Amino acid sequence: MKILDVLEADAVIIDLASRDKKGVIEELAAPVADITGVDHVELVRVLLDRERLGSTGIGGGIGIPHGKLKSLDRLILGFGRSKTGVSFESMDRRPTHIFFLLVTPENSTGLHLKLLARISRILKNEDFKERLLAATEREEVLQAIREEDEAF
């Protein structure tokens, strides 16, 4: 599965306004809730519940908040970037700049894990991360992901 198979262009936020973890999750969840028709409050609750188990800030400036919703009928991915960085309780305690928000139906554990692994793997490419950080428009983010998707 390619990232662009599930990343919605309307769920790409290139300049997150939020400056804290809860705010970032609420901001990332808003377009995903609109696109899927799920309740925004419920989506945020699921994501924050997952964060309580352990931060999804994996270090290296990356956060991959994720969760599962019973009412969802497909995987959906959102993207956000914070130019200034956000304290996301990352393993390395450094600010987080790049976010991929993954929400999957409750019964899709295999796909959920495969997509998390794919996102983690491509974000090990420092050139790719730099392109995401340097993008000034949504289409630049999508193009960078498209090219990285094809390389894998």
Task: Catalogue the active-site residues.
Answer: 66
The rounded distance, in Å, linking the Cα atoms of 98 and 123 is 9
Rounded-to-integer distance, Cα 50 and Cα 66, Å: 7
Buried b / exposed e over 82-118, threshold 16 CB at 10 Å, is: beebbebebeeeeebbbbbbbbbbeeeeebbeebbeb
Q: How far is it, in rounded angstroms, from Cα 30 to Cα 53?
A: 22
